[in-house]
Amino acid sequence: MGNSFKKAHGLKGSASKGSKELAFKDKYTLGKELGSGAFSVVRLGTSKVPVAGTESRDFAIKVIQKASLSEEDLQGLKQEIEIMKEIEHRHVIRLYEYFQDPKEYFLVTELVEGGELFERIVKKSRYSELEARDCVKTILETMAFLHERGIVHRDLKPENLLLTSKTDDADIKVADFGFAKHVAGADADHALDTQCGTPGYVAPEILKHNAYGTLVDVWSIGVIVYIMLGGYPPFYSDNQTELFKLIKKGLYQFHPKYWEHISEDAKDLIRNMLVINPDHRPSCATLLKHAWITHDEDTLSGRDISGSLAEMRAWNVKRKFRGAVNTIVAARRMSNAIGGATGFGHHTEPGDEAAAEATEGAAAEN
Fold topology of 117-365: Transferase(Phosphotransferase); domain 1 (1.10.510)
pLDDT at 203: 97
Nearest partner of 354 among 243, 200, 236, judged by Cα: 236
Per-chain mean pLDDT for the chain: 84
For 268, list phi and psi in degrees, rounded to 5.
-65, -35
pLDDT at 1: 36
Q: Which of 26, 101, 155, 169 is catalytic?
A: 155
Specify the DSSP class assigned to residue 288.
T
In this structure, which long-range contacts are made by residues 191-198, counting pairs with CB atoms below 8 Å and at least 24 apart in sequence? 192/152, 192/154, 194/331, 194/335, 195/331, 195/334, 195/335, 195/338, 196/154, 196/155, 196/329, 196/330, 196/331, 196/334, 196/335, 197/154, 197/155, 197/329, 197/334, 198/155, 198/157, 198/328, 198/329
pLDDT at 335: 45
Q: What is the pLDDT of residues 17-45, one digit of tens each?
A: 434 468 999 999 999 999 887 778 999 99
Report the C-alpha gap between 268 and 70 in whole angstroms: 44
For 150, list phi and psi in degrees, rounded to 5.
75, 25
pLDDT at 13: 52
pLDDT at 238: 84
pLDDT at 72: 87
Mean pLDDT of 78-87: 94
Confidence of residue 9 (pLDDT cuts 50, 70, 90): very low
Mean pLDDT of 134-153: 97
Q: What is the pLDDT of residues 248-266, one digit of tens each?
A: 999 999 999 999 999 999 9
Annotated binding site for ATP: 62
Residue 185 has pLDDT above 90, yes or no: no
Residue 7 has pLDDT above 50, yes or no: no
pLDDT at 271: 98
Active site residue 187: no
pLDDT at 360: 47
Annotated binding site: 62
Look up the CATH number of domain 24-110: 3.30.200.20
pLDDT at 210: 96
Q: What is the pLDDT of residues 199-250, one digit of tens each?
A: 999 999 999 999 999 999 999 999 999 999 999 999 988 898 999 999 999 9
Portions of the chain given CATH number 3.30.200.20 = 24-110
Q: What is the pLDDT of residues 322-333, one digit of tens each?
A: 654 444 444 444
pLDDT at 344: 33
pLDDT at 5: 32
Portions of the chain given CATH number 1.10.510.10 = 117-365
DSSP bridge partners of 47: 28
Q: What is the pLDDT of residues 189-198, one digit of tens each?
A: 889 999 988 9
pLDDT at 129: 96
Residue 362 has pLDDT above 60, yes or no: no
